[in-house]
Amino acid sequence: MTDRLRIALAQLNPKVGDLVGNLALARKALADAQAVGADILMFSELFLTGYFPDDLLFKPKFIADAMGAARDLVANTAGTDVVVILPTIWVEKTGMHNAVLVAENGQITATRLKRELPNSDVFYEKRYFTAGPLADPVIIKGVPVGIPICEDIWHTSVCEHLAMRGAEIMLCPNGSPYWTNKQHVRKELVRARVAEDDVPMLYLNQVGGQDELVFDGASFAIEPGNKLVFQGKSFATDFIVSDWVRDDNGWTCASGEVRELTTTDEAPWLACVLGLRDYVLKNGFKQVVLGLSGGIDSAVVAAMAVDALGAENVHCIMLPYRYTSDASLKDAKDCAERLGVRYDVVSIGNPVDDALLELAPVFGDRAPDLAEENIQSRMRGVVLMAVSNKLGSMLLTTGNKSEMGVGYATIYGDMNGGYNPLKDMFKMEVYRLAAWRNGHVPGDCRGPAGEVIPQAIIDKAPSAELRPNQTDQDSLPPYPVLDAILKGIVEDELSIAEIVAMGHDQALVERIERLLNIAEYKRRQSAPGPKLTGKAFGLGRRYPITNGYKDRIIG
């Protein structure tokens, strides 16, 4: 039995389904662990398959290949002094499990199976996995080590059992996605477990974007006495090495670096940038294209794209029509120049007018309305998709959560695109982040410092510019009011009566709820985007399209 342990945590960015690539990352981490003299190397939850594999887990060949990759890494531990804690899928007689393999000297020395399978919010592990039993600690280098897996620590029974069975230290691999305040929620949870069981816990989280989820890393360890002994990077890969010593009072950390967490101002920007970067690169693209209108949303997306991919990989196009103001033309060009991106102007005047001319016999003498306005938006979508197809760039769409909430977007028009960084961001948050980005260059962002989003764009009244002198407030309440009502309905699941009691007009609240419900079909066809809140449209909020329920105040 040893009284000293050097523990390495591999806070890495795996790609779902990329068994070869993830195995290569694991082998590199194993070599790094050996180089620093680590006794233990731990990977994040389901590392070899990536978290979460979804219905790949119904594919027998994928399961066989994943288990084969795990055995390959186990074999790589031969000839090293490193004990590897490898989370992966594993099939036993009881079924398929979200599991951990403990590997030493080329052999699997223990397996541990996740007991508490999450089945709410974005998690649905019961669809695939069988729950494991309450398990005893694993003896590593003579030390009883508890290995609760992610959700296991959200329930007192697993860690309590491990502590009662003699665990002296807890190593917890996780696949925990980011949303607002999540880093602090995790830390309070671990503090509670450590206080209850009087055993230190090392919490490892993965990093990276996976479709609509963003994993923020920020791995850490807590000792009894509520002591934070190390903190890893946020929204970036990290290789965290800490030294632990045992005395009569148990294990304490002798060396560990505490890095500052991202601020609540910085975190959503970094989440959008990381989600965008990984979605583009992991899907085989190198460049993006977007329509730059001179408005706040497209300017923020352009800045995020530059921060994610570099200015040389971002292409912005202004698509003016007769209603496009001179101010918008000026502001779009100004924004593109500040960001240093390629900027083109492609007029949609002739294509739109030709379409209206050809449609005149069909439209007859009906008065102009949304149909004519939407042709402009859809023509912009056609042009942008053509550029995407011809140049091989992924098209980004730029609608925010407020607009998508009430359907203030044109399906097959401005909703066209492969990814939407603003999908889970209300309009006022877009404004706030624009002002914040002008004063900061966060994290590993690649864009320039300074006022990259012209103040004129932040100050102007938002408009789709589909008819003369149009503003968003012609059709919508002021965005602070709209955001508050939508937050109440969508994120807080409040009734109309409860929202009216907060001081909002009843007729307006009922109108917003109706618009929210009838726009569900549009949102089902919208591009994915990073989940920033507990109730993101799509992955975090699943409502039926055909829905007869009406919330009404009675009496």
Binding residues for L-glutamine: 176, 182
Q: What does DSSP say about strands 40-43 and 4-11: parallel, antiparallel, or unpaired?
A: parallel
H-helix or E-strand spanning residue 474: none
445 in catalytic set: no
The active-site residue out of 15, 104, 114, 429 is 114
**By the 8 A CB rule, do 8 and 32 touch?**
yes
Known binding residues = 176, 182, 291-298, 374, 398, 403, 522
Using CA atoms, how far apart are residues 135 and 51, in angstroms rounded to an integer? 23
Q: Has 272 been annotated as catalytic?
A: no
Catalytic, out of 45, 104, 151, 212: 45
82: its two tokens: 């490193």
- Residue pair 250/215 in contact by the 8 Å Cβ criterion: no
Terminal CA-CA length for the chain: 73
Q: For the chain, what percentages of helix, strand and coil (3-state, to nearest 5) are there?
A: 40, 20, 40
Binding-site positions for ATP = 291-298, 398
What is the spatial distance between Cα 379 and Cα 388, in angstroms, rounded to a whole number? 14
* Catalytic annotation present for 196: no
CB neighbours of residue 509 within 10 Å: 24
Cα(206)–Cα(209) distance, integer angstroms? 10
Which residue is catalytic, options 15, 104, 116, 150? 150
- Binding region for deamido-NAD(+): 374, 403, 522
Kindly give, in sequence order, each residue whose CB lies less than 8 Å from that of residue 182, ignoring residues fewer than 6 positions away: 176, 216
Residue 4 φ/ψ region, left for φ over 0, alpha for ψ in the -120 to 50 degree band, beta for the rest? beta
| Cα 340 from chain centroid (whole Å) | 27
- SS3 labels along 380-424: HHHHHHHHHHHHCCEEECCCCHHHHHHCCCCCCCCCCCCECCCCC
CA–CA distance, 246 with 3 (Å, rounded to integer): 5
What is the total residue count of the chain?
Answer: 555
Q: Within a 13 Å sphere around the CA of 466, how many CA atoms are in the beta-carbon half?
A: 22
CA–CA separation, 450 and 340 (whole Å): 13
* Secondary structure (H, E, C), 117-143: CCCCCCCCHHHCCCCCCCCCCEEECCE
Catalytic (active-site) positions: 45, 114, 150
